[in-house]
Amino acid sequence: MKSAEEIFNILKENFNDNIKELVKQPVDPYILCDPLKINEISLFLLSNEGLLFDNLMNLSGVDDANGMSTTTGSITTIEGGTLSVYYHMESTKFRHKVVLRVSTPREKPEASSVALVWRSADWHEREAFDLLGINFLNHPDLRRILMPYDWEAGYPLRKDYANPEFYHGMKVPY
């Protein structure tokens, strides 16, 4: 059973600059990583003898809404800032847990996919793509999952999302 600090140090040794910092907070400290290297980091976490993170509990996309926000009338737009993905994983053998976080620019949100490391990430990543528009590189089947396949009004979980007026001729706020 390893603490977050120990896991952070192991990762730092192996991935140097791709591991940014260990962010401490009252519950669940998290490790900030490079979004384009997250697949390699994940594979390391899964296959390293002393870590064996075999279960990805959860993967969540988050709109950090930390850019410039401008409001005109009822429409808010956010420019700049980041979108983030949180990875919660645990080892069923050693019973330790860790949280990773990657942040990717809002204009070009890209992170490498971990769907081939943990197959459970497949649908979670599709959901993050669907609701936040985060593009997971090398994902085997990146399609919308919860929203209709032809939804063109954007990504609902972004903080500056506005409902379209019509969808296929039906009024949306009915």
Q: Does 30 bind another protein (CB under 8 A)?
A: yes
% helix, strand, coil for the chain, step of 5: 20, 30, 45
Q: What three-state secondary structure class fits 70?
A: strand
Q: Does 69 bind another protein (CB under 8 A)?
A: no
Q: Does 156 bind another protein (CB under 8 A)?
A: yes
CB of 50 to another protein, least distance (A): 18
CB of 24 to another protein, least distance (A): 10
60, 71, 84, 150, 153 from 168: Cα distances, Å: 30, 28, 32, 10, 12
How far does the chain reach from its first CA to its final CA, in angstroms? 53
58, 85, 109, 159 from 98: Cα distances, Å: 11, 14, 23, 27
Q: Does 118 bind another protein (CB under 8 A)?
A: yes
2, 36, 59 from 85: Cα distances, Å: 23, 12, 7
Q: Does 123 bind another protein (CB under 8 A)?
A: yes
> Given candidates 10, 147, 153, 154, which one binds another protein under the rule CB under 8 A?
147
| 19 or 89: CB nearest another protein | 89
Q: Does 60 bind another protein (CB under 8 A)?
A: yes
Binding site for another protein (CB under 8 A): 25-28, 30, 54-58, 60-63, 86, 88, 92, 95, 99, 118-120, 122-124, 131, 144-148, 156-157, 159, 161
